[in-house]
Structure formats: structure tokens, C-alpha cells
Structure 1
Amino acid sequence: MIGTRKIRNNFTRKKKKEKSKKGINQMEWMEILDQLEAGTLRSANKVDGVWQANKEVKEGILAAFKAGELKEFSDEAFSGFVDKHNLSPRKFSPEDKVRMVPGGSSVRRGAHVASGVIIMPPAYINVGAFVDEGTMVDSHALVGSCAQIGKNVHLSAGVQIGGVLEPIGLAPVVIEDNAFIGAGSVIVEGKQVLERAVIAPGVVLSKGVPVYDCVNERVLAADEPIPADAIVVPGSRPVNDKLSWAKERGLTLNCALIVKYRDEKSEASLELEQFLR
């Protein structure tokens, strides 16, 4: 499971320096960005089974934004694009063992992309994000700032994984190992999807969208993660009595339904097909 192994954190293990009135200095935020890219430092960690934001890392990222100046990139691949000079797009070599197919994708400075990751065009991975080994980031997918993506995850075409930079104490969106996220799904506001869960195409997960566990006959709390092995499909629910006009017309609101839990032998695509046909 991502986040459970010990990650050497050179920045936070160092004796904290006295910060000037301007806050984190250039050397510090540059070191933070370097370590984020290397994967030796993360913007969030799993502590005693709970994902927690690394506030010092987020402060460093925000300091980099503040210090950055607008620059037009002269590199042929990014000609005509303008961004902060210190958050330029990353480049990969065959030694990185990252397959980034031509066609408009970009990985921002300060994002970690592990060996075996495939990025299909166009896709975008923002600063502070962590994408672990063997994950597929399909076309038109977004991995937002500080999002944590586990090993062997499949982010299908058009998936939107929201970013969480501020407030700095908020936990990020997390997709744990071996999860499958169907095309066009949207996961935002720090929602977390645990190991091997399957999210069907078109599902929206946020703290404002209720998730009904039809197997265990309960409603998940707003900040509760999608359980491991859950199979989640789009659903709808009737409006409440406060919206009488809408109720009279049979209008409904969005929700998500857990319809089953995977077993060790089940394939994500076959399980989804059973409930979506």
C-alpha cells in the first residue's frame, strides 16, 4: 500500500532553520521540489492508516509559486507557453522508464512519476503529485496538485483527480494501489479511494455527493474513504421535501452506489459490466 513504507525525508529531518520574515527561502523550496520529484519527500503520508498532508511541503510549494516570475518557454516542445519560471515542465529520458507519449502531455516541476508509468496524450500531472509504479494515466486525465496515486492504478480517459494546495492542512485526493478509475470520473475535495476499488465511468466523488453502501446498507460519512475492493457506480436519489417544486416533477440528485465488493479473483472490467448493462 502506498505511503506505508518509510520514506526518507531529508528536509523535515534536518534541524529547522530560522525562517526570515519572508518565510521559506529559495534554497529550501528548491530542495523541496527536487525531493518531491525524486520521491524521497511527499506532500502527504499515510500515518497509522490515515492520510495526512505534509504542511511544510505545501508551504514550500506555495513559496515557489510566490517567488516565481512569468516566463515564456523557448523549448520547441513548449514554445508559446507561459508559466512560473521555477515550475517548468519536466523532461524524461529512457533511463527514467517513464513512457510519455507525444501529443500534448505535461508533468510539472515538483511532481513524482515513478518507473513504469505510462502517460497518454494529452494528460497533465501537477506540482506535488505522486504517481507510483506501473500506473496508467490515460488521455485527457488530470492529476491535480499534491494528489497521491498508488501502484498499478488505471486512470481512464477523461478522469479528473482534483488538487488540494490550500488550506495547507487539508488531505489530498488519494487513489491507492490497484484501483481502477473509469472514464470521465471526477474525484475531488480530498476524497480517497482505497486499494483495489473500482469506480465506474462517470462517477462523481466529493464531500457533497453521498455514497450509499448497498451491500452493508449504510451511507458513508462525507470524509470517509471509498472502502477497499468496493465497486462504485453512478446513482441518483430523490430531492428532499425542501425542494417541493423539483420533487413534484420527479427530479433527482447525484449520488454514488457501492453495489458489490471484489473478491481476489474478480476482474475490474467484468465486475463493472455486470452492473452497468
Structure 2
Amino acid sequence: MSQQHLINSDVFDRSGYLIGNVIEVQSSTATDFSLIVQPLGSNQGSQAHIHSTSITDIDSEKKTIHVDRDQHEFTPNAGQGIQLVEERLIVNRKRVKVGEISVRRVVETEMVEVPIRREKLVVERIGDSADPVEIPLGETQFQGNEIDAQPAGSDRSQDTTASGSFETIQDAIAFLDAVVQQPGHPCEKVRVAILLDGDNGLKGTLYEFENPQTAIQKISRLDKILLNQCNQVRLELFLSNPALRRTYQDWITQYPSSIQDFGDEPRL
């Protein structure tokens, strides 16, 4: 490697610390020359002279030169800081269990004039007697439409209403779907009462819908939310034709076998 090829090489001291970069080579003979080095972190005009006799190793591929000198001889501030030479900070981490909590979503329904649905997030610390933390979710929602009270002594609803109970929400949906399939069905309004499992401290909910189609959509969603908490479903069909009340009442009473007869014309 020629002396001029040493320019721009990095110079390291005997401990492997970087001294600086070669900016010039001053030669007297082929074996007698000096390296002009710009020390690391020094001013532009600051230079250090290193004689060729101090060179211990030259790597032409990596352009590095090792000398038998110490960094502090060339860098005034050497030793006042920490030079990082590919150091890595390794953080040892470990998991420590400090306790347990349970997070569950609770949906409460209260009966006023219409059902009111509230959702809240309950956070409980397992094994701790402290009261759970309750966080409200969203806004209060009213279920169904407001139910108008019938005037005292009115028996019109008795003449136009067919009612009955079903074991599951799916049974009630299947019956309403069969009603919808009837051409020009006389059902004007549907009232749905869902009785919930009392073992869980739950009560019942009451809904009123403008038509069977809307009732099917709404209680289908409830079926997914309530899962197995439903104990009984009661339907009331408000009919526009009082003459068909007996027919629809028989269909409800004889469910599910009556579903097969829905395709027949009502016998009045």
C-alpha cells in the first residue's frame, strides 16, 4: 500500500480507541514518513503528527491504521467522557404477578313506562373484598316504543288481540315469520314480553313494535345478546280484523304444529 493511499484512513491507539483520520502523509523516504492526523473531536486546525515507527498494523481493505500510542496524547479531552464502541444496553426484564382482576360487561334493563337499557363495565379485583369499579358505557337507550295504557273498561283489545307464550325467542321469531308470509296479514302491532332467568337476578322486558317485520329484526338481536338467559317469550298480536282473532289465537295455542297450516286460508 502506497503512502498516499493512507490518506482518509482511521487511526486507532494501542487500546483500540479511535484517535482520528489521516489527512496528509509527509514522507522523507519510502520507509520514513509521518502521518498528519485530524484528532477526533478537535478543531479544524488542530493536527497531530505520528511517525511511521509508531505504526504497528495497516489494514488496506478496511483503511485502518493501529499505532503504539495512546489517545490522550493527541486528544486533550480524552478520558473526560465515555467513548462508545458498539456498546449495547441490555435490560433484563421479568414478569411479576401483583394481583388479578376480572372485567365483565353488564347490561341492565329497568322497567319504567318503557324499558331503559344501560351498559357499564365492571372491574373487580379477584380475592379482594373491595367494591367493584363500575364505568358507564354509552348512553341510556329506550327499548321499543312507549306503551299507551288502555282506557279503563275498554274491551276492544280483547276482541282484536291474539296472545300466547313460547319457550324460546327463536320459536317466537319462527311464528312471526310465518305471520309475515301470510298475504295481506291483518297484524297491525306486536307486543313482546321476554321473561328472563330469575336465578341471575334478571327480570323481564316489554317491547311494542309497529309490525311483525320490525319485531323479528329487534328480537333477533336480543336473542344474540341474551344467549341462554331467556326463560319465556309472550306475544300479543293486535289485529285489524276482529273476525280473524280466533284463527290466530288457535295458531298460537297449537304452535308448533300450527305452522304447517299457515299456508291454508283462515277458516272464519
Fold shared per TM-score above 0.5: no
Superposition TM-score, scaled by structure 1 size: 0.18
Which structure is higher in helix share? 2
Which structure is higher in strand share? 2
Name which one, 1 or 2, has greater alpha-carbon Rg: 2
Where relative contact order (Cα < 8 A, 6+ residues apart) is larger, the structure is 2
Superposition TM-score, scaled by structure 2 size: 0.19
